[in-house]
Amino acid sequence: MSVMSLRLKACAYLLVLATNAAIANGDPVFDALRLRLECQDDEVTFGEPAWFFMSMYNSSNNTISINPGVIYNAILLCSLDAVEYSPCVYERMFSDFLDHLDMYPGRVVWKGEVRLYLKGTPRTDLKRQDGYVNDLVFPGPGTYYVKAVSGDAENLHSNAIRLTVALLPESERPVMEIWSRPEVARFMNGQTITSKEGVEPLERLLEQYPDSLYADHARYALGYYWSSQHFRDSSGTRTDRTADPPMLRKAYKLVSGVTDRIPILKLRALYRQLEIVGGNLFMHDHVDVKSLAAEVQSRMSLADRIGLGEKMREWLQRLLAREEPTETLGAAPR
């Protein structure tokens, strides 16, 4: 490598460092960057996860080149009065852009969806056996305000979203006795491999209360679990074992049973259906492929919005062509 090339690389590196420092220190040049937070629904029932969409956009007439490391972390803040906010959830923001991110005028970059359920991170464990309500982002019925800020750039923040958490209907009170169990909360918060004790209560919930408001959440989580278990041994370690038809059929039945009540959850369920069928040709005999394809295609705009569009198109193409996939089922984003 020539001396000139080394000098150019050094200058570029110093420019990135200066850019990052400017963002972190609130340089007005970067005030044009904005986070936008949108809500899937402006009302949820107590105990339900709430879904949000997060994006970043450039409101100026200039292109801004930044290092995504500076905007890697996001903090979701919650408030009861839209005045005093406190951190509730930490999220990765735009980690798909590893080298640099050119924000030209008007460009919008989607982080995808953010699910608010328990405080902390998606892997946070409950500290108290009886602490379900205390660990919820929204610990009771009422009006809440949510906004996002960068964990690294103090002047990069979003609008505030108003969310109503409705009272628990009387019909759901028996369900809550199951839903609020700590092992179920851990399982529903993403710890499906390390919190297998949540499986039995959720299966009982579906058996006893199939029409509950919490049933779709349970179907998706259990379907995700069983399709992931297909690639794991009894200790949770990934294996290369051959297909387990009964387990995969069970997983497919669960995720295909998710209703349209929560569009983003339905989309996630369809994504899982594509993986199960596209990755295991024997499943073609158990599925109406054309109907599944039509259902997926009707939701592509939402898939693009949360960053799943490209992957869903790949799986759909493989499915329709009856091709073997090149990636494994367990590697899918959640």
pLDDT bin (cut points 50, 70, 90) of residue 17 is very low
CB 123 within 8 A of CB 190: yes
pLDDT of residue 69: 61
Burial class, 310, CB count within 10 angstroms (exposed 0-12 / middle 13-18 / buried 19+): exposed
Residues 228-238 have a mean pLDDT of 56
| Stronger pLDDT, 283 or 271, i.e. the higher one | 271
d(CA 25, CA 264): 36
Please indicate whether residue 244 or residue 10 has the higher confidence score (pLDDT): 244
Evaluate if residue 307 carries a pLDDT over 90.
no
Two tokens at 299? 């939701």
| Residue 239: predicted pLDDT | 47
Say how far apart CA 180 and CA 35 lie, in whole Å.
33
Q: Write the Ramachandran bin of 316: left for phi over 0, alpha for psi from -120 to 50, otherwise beta.
A: alpha
pLDDT given for residue 193 in this prediction = 52
Residue 189 and residue 92: Cα distance in Å, rounded?
Answer: 16
The C-alpha angle with vertex 290 and arms to 110 and 287, in degrees rounded to 5, equals 100
Dump pLDDT digits (tens) for 52-66. 988 888 888 888 887
Residue pair 77/149 in contact (Cβ under 8 Å)? The answer is: yes
Identify the structural domains of the chain with CATH numbers, from first to last. Answer: 3-166 (2.60.40.10), 170-331 (no CATH)
Q: How many CA atoms lie less than 13 Å away from 178 in the CB half-sphere?
A: 21
Asked if pLDDT for residue 144 goes beyond 70, the answer is yes
pLDDT at 167: 95
Q: Are 124 and 118 in contact (CB under 8 A)?
A: yes
Q: Which of 117, 25, 116, 13 is nearest to 65 (CA)?
A: 13
Q: Are strands 108-116 and 86-92 parallel, antiparallel or unpaired?
A: unpaired
pLDDT over 70 (residue 8): no
Type and span of the H or E element at 79:
strand 73-79
pLDDT-based confidence at 231, cuts 50/70/90? low
- With beta carbons less than 8 A apart as the criterion, state whether 105 and 41 touch: no
Please tell me the pTM assigned to this model.
0.77
Cα 298 to Cα 30: distance, rounded to the nearest angstrom: 38
